[in-house]
Amino acid sequence: MSASKLPERPSLAFLRKLAKDRLEKLRQSEPEAKLADALLEVAREHSFSNWRALKAELEQRQAKTHRPDLTSPAVRPLAIRDIAASTAFYRDILGFDIIERDGATEAVLGPARLRFGPGAPSIVFLQTADVASTHAAIRVRGGAASDIEKVNWIKMQMFEIRDPDGNVLWFGQTYHQDQESPSRRGSQPEGIRLALPELPVDNVPAAVAYYRDILGFRINYQQHDLGVMDRDAITILLIARTADHKGIGSCEFYVSDADALYAEFTGKGAYTLGPPVSRPWGLRDFRVIDPEGNRLTFAQTFE
């Protein structure tokens, strides 16, 4: 039997199915044939000595074309001296698109936008849906990524890589059990699954402390210009107020007991615009104004 070439984008699932179909034919002449025999036959048809070698080749190909599935915004200036070297690094090693916008170079991928310019090296956190695949892809493409480690205090699996100008990029994925519950994932509809409101603040550390101590949020991740805050099923981003992110923000949360939450917040000194009010449209809500002027509405549905 002549050898077949792998397609440009081979599918491991398709080749497994091919092996299962082949097994049925094998058993017509060899009743004792096993799936391993069919897998070996498929591998040899594609010029591989065994299934393991074929699988390794497919995984390496997939890693080379993998683009990180980033799940949280990151809009940051980056200190870049050598545009050519950085363009190659962010495009060829990390999988970003390189664009020109308003006379500057930017590396863009999903909700992340990194703007090249002067300044001091910084740290950027990028949250991904699959840290293991991202790590493997970066290493296959020649990136010197550190090993993946669990950071227990923020419930993240993370690795680090540095760009040619010394900026540090952390790629992370949460492993918090409440967020990763299969039953909860199964209850989510397809399409839009999660909102991450961005609230601009002048003093990120002070805002992080307020949301933790007064509003009961947990610190998921923090750096000097970003606070990722979790409470129950909700994540919000406290971002530094800049020319691109100015003014105040607002967002609304659906809650199970507006009155109990109001009592909790006011007991800790939160500034509200009054107690919960039942609206004609079926919501009982109240509003909190944080120290930076951002407005948070907490609403409970009722019959």
CATH code of the domain covering residue 117: 3.10.180.10
Q: Is residue 99 part of a domain?
A: yes
The per-residue pLDDT for range 171-214, each reduced to its tens digit, is 988 875 444 444 444 444 456 666 788 999 999 999 999 999 99
Q: Is residue 6 part of a domain?
A: no
- Domain match, 229 and 293 both: yes
What CA–CA distance (Å, rounded) separates 135 from 148?
Answer: 8
Q: Is residue 47 part of a domain?
A: yes
- Domain match, 203 and 270 both: yes
Q: Residue 226, class by beta-carbon neighbours within 10 Å (0-12 exposed, 13-18 middle, 19+ buried)?
A: buried
Task: Tell me how many domains the chain contains.
Answer: 3
- Domain match, 219 and 269 both: yes
pTM score of the predicted model: 0.45
Give the number of residues written for the chain: 303
Q: What is the pLDDT of residue 174?
A: 82
CA dihedral 282, 286, 290, 292 (to 10 degrees): 60
Domain that holds residue 95: 74-178
The per-residue pLDDT for range 205-239, each reduced to its tens digit, is 999 999 999 999 999 888 888 999 999 888 899 99
Q: Is residue 65 part of a domain?
A: no
Residue where a domain stops, chosen among 143, 178, 213 = 178
What CA–CA distance (Å, rounded) separates 143 from 135?
Answer: 9
Q: Is residue 268 part of a domain?
A: yes
Q: Is residue 284 part of a domain?
A: yes
Q: Looking at the predicted structure, is the pLDDT value of residue 277 above 80? A: yes
Type of residue at 127? Q
